[in-house]
Structure formats: structure tokens, C-alpha cells
Amino acid sequence: MSLLIKNGYCIRSQKEGYYDILIEEGTIKRIDKGIDGKDCEVIDAKNCIVMPTFCNAHTHMAMSLFRGLADDLELMEWLTKHIFPAEAKFVDKQMVYVCSKLSILESLRSGMGCFMDMYFFEEEIARAAIEVGVRAIITEGIIDFETPDCKNAREAINKTRSLKEEFSDEELVRVGYGPHSTYTLSYESLRYLADNLSDDDIIHIHINESRREVESVLKDKGKRPIDVLIDVGLLRETTFMAHCVESSDEDISKIANYGANVINVPQSNLKLASGIAPIQDMLKAGIGVYLGTDGAASNNNLDIIEDMRTSSLLQKVKFDERAMDSKTALAMGMNHEGLFDGVGFIREAGPADVVVMSLDDLEATPVYNPYSFVVYAANSRSVRDVIVNGKVILKGGEFVNADEEEVKYEVRELSKKLGAL
Ligand SMILES: [Zn+2]
């Protein structure tokens, strides 16, 4: 049956203002005024904003198990003394599935409809995403040491190749390559990866996260992380680099020249005291910038609306009050350069990935500029309905395809082994 969203105020849309949206077979068929709802399932969006779904371009969904396990620590200490050991002990297929499902549900409540993940047992993250009904790009973590899933980088690269095969017919899932970083991979592993890529393969990597990271790569490899990527042929138009906090002017012009992309991860960068990425300079250089939450162990929630607001406020502090206005911040939070094909802008014949956000709340009174409201005043409480690929998966704040209580119970049971309340 066709779906009709009626009476909403559309933004980031081919037609902005009060329009109805007709959806058929996963696609936006028509955007117009007064569309007849006969034979349609009708969603009344009166007093609501209708906009595209948010895109969380960098996360580790399964890490919800480690939310709040170790806080208030420097990145390398946090990673090597707490996160890596806990992962070695507690990460398995079942943990990845159930903890990812929890995170996907949490994210969906803030209007997220697509995400890119890097972790282990990525097929389990794909399974959770398909069940809930969101889009995912899965990238198995490629790292030189043994993980709970793979013995070494080469095995993870080969696994990624078979995942690509496995999910080739899956509408909601795409598979990319997830080299962890230039400090956890040798030149040899990075070269092996580059030699085995196709032109359209997505590369998802952590780069320039902190000063210590850049210093350690300089010491070990004699070059900055961006130059290492250039050396091995991994700085490409399909490369998506999370963090990029410690990016020099030279780094920025190299990223722009190679057409590579940046994922801003503002709250995780703040919590680990890594700093503020120079996003304003990157946008000026024409770089595609996306938004990510990172995993729940370093944020500690996956509310993409919060990260969007934070990203805008931080650029104002770093540059000036005009930096990262609400339209730019929303574009960044909504896949504006097309990591997920066609998502992020409502247009006829485009994918039907849509959020209905209520304007009933106190903080939504009054609204003069809907972009300003969504970026500076809204929170995930206002997200009412989410539609992905033409299907309603969050309806009035309730999950259509998942039992929230059951998922929470399972994660709580697991977390007791780590000493949770
Ligand atoms: Zn990360």
C-alpha cells in the first residue's frame, strides 16, 4: 500500500514548506499540495517538520556494552588499558548482535536512518540493522593484532571480501573496508589492502584523532597519517576519515586535492579531550564532511541530534559566530555528500527515508526558522516517526520491528559480567 505523509512542513526538500509526500515501493513518488489519501496509509504530520533521516557516518554500534565502563581518560590509555582488554574478553557474535541492536534502536529514536560501522563480526551488525529496518555500511575492523574475530589484518581483509559477496543482494546493507588507523596497521598491511581494492570500495578509517596519534605515526613511519595514506594509495574519493582533529593546513589541502571525505565526531573528541576539528576550513576547501557519534563508550550516547548541535557550537568557538550555520549543520548530519545514495534530501524519485518531527514540545514554541529549531533547540524527544526505504520503522516513538524491553534485558544481563548495576 502507498504511504502518504500529509500536512507536514518539509525541509531539505525539493519543495520546501507545507507539502504532502506520496511514497510508493520505497521511493518518493510525488511532493505536492493536497494529495488525495484514498487507498493510502496516511501519516498526519500536522504541526510537524518532515525532513530526511540523519546519517551517523562513524560509529561502533556494539560498544554500547562498554558505555560508561571507563571514563575521564586520555585516548591511548582509555583504548589500550580498558577498551582493548574488555573487547578481547567479552566480544563475540551474540554480544555484537544484541548490543548493536540496542544502539540501532537508540539511534533510531533520534531520527537516524543510516549508519557506517566499524567493529568485529560485522555480519551481526548487518543482521540487527536489517531486522530493525535501517541502512548500514558495515566495515570489519582491520587491525594488525588478533581480534575476537580475525587473526590479523590479512584475514580481516579477506573476510571483508566474502562479506561483500554475502550481502551483495541486500537492499539495506553495503560492505566497505575498515582499516582501523595508520597506528594499528603496518605499511605492509596497508599496501596489501590497497592492492586488493576496487575503485568504488569504501574505506573507513580513524585519522588524526589526537596529537599523540600523529606523533606516534611520525615516530614509527616517519610521516603524518595523511601522508602514509597517500604513500599506499588509500587517500581516495571513497575514503571516509573519522575525527581529523589534528589536521594541519597541508593535511586539509591534500584531503581536498584527493577528494577524500571527513567525518566529524565532535562529542567523542571532546570527551577524550582530543580537541576541535577545523571543520570550517575543511568546508571552505570543498571537502565533504559528515557527522558521527563514535561508539557509546566514548560519547556516551548515540543521539545524532546532540552531536549535530555540538558540532555547530564548537565551530563557532573555534572560528566565529557565523561558522557552521544551521543549514550547514543539518546538511552535515544528513549525508549531504551522498555516502548513502540519494538519502539526505527529499526529492521525487529519491529514496523514501524520512523523519517526522513534532513541533508540540515546549522547546518547539515558537518556531520561526525550522532549520534553527532542528539544530539549536530540538532533541530526540521530538522525533515521532521514521520511515526508511518506504517503510515506517518508528511510529509515534515506538519501534515497529523490535521489542525494546527484550533487547534492554539481554544487554543488561551481559553487562552484569562486567560489573554493571
Ligand atoms: Zn571510532
The pLDDT tens digits for 112-171 are 999 999 999 999 999 999 999 999 999 999 999 999 999 999 999 999 999 999 999 999
The pLDDT tens digits for 15-65 are 999 999 999 999 999 999 999 999 999 999 999 999 999 999 999 999 999
Distance 184 CA to ligand 1 centre (A): 13
Distance 137 CA to ligand 1 centre (A): 14
Distance 331 CA to ligand 1 centre (A): 21
Locus of grid cell 516513538: 397
DSSP state of 82: I
* Annotated domain spans of the chain: 2-52+346-399, 54-333
Grid cell, residue 172, equals 539495506
CA angle 104, 59, 118 (to 5 degrees): 105
Distance 207 CA to ligand 1 centre (A): 10
Distance 43 CA to ligand 1 centre (A): 36
Count of other CB atoms within 10 angstroms of residue 380: 21
Distance 61 CA to ligand 1 centre (A): 10
Q: Is the pLDDT of residue 336 over 80?
A: no
Q: Is the pLDDT of residue 358 over 90?
A: yes
Distance 111 CA to ligand 1 centre (A): 21
Locus of grid cell 525541509: 11
* CB contact at 8 A, 30 and 21: yes
Distance 121 CA to ligand 1 centre (A): 16
The pLDDT tens digits for 292-322 are 999 999 999 999 999 999 999 999 999 999 9
pLDDT value at residue 75: 81
What's the distance, Cα to Cα, between the start and end of the chain in Å? 45
* CB contact at 8 A, 210 and 275: yes
pLDDT value at residue 79: 87
Distance 199 CA to ligand 1 centre (A): 24
Distance 268 CA to ligand 1 centre (A): 8
Distance 388 CA to ligand 1 centre (A): 25
Q: What is the DSSP string of 48-68?
A: EEEEEPEEEEEE-GGGGGGTT
| CATH fold for domain 2-52+346-399 | Urease, subunit C; domain 1 (2.30.40)
pTM for the whole structure? 0.97
Instruction: Say yes or no: domain 54-333 is CATH 3.20.20.140.
Output: yes
Cα separation, 49 vs 135, whole angstroms: 22
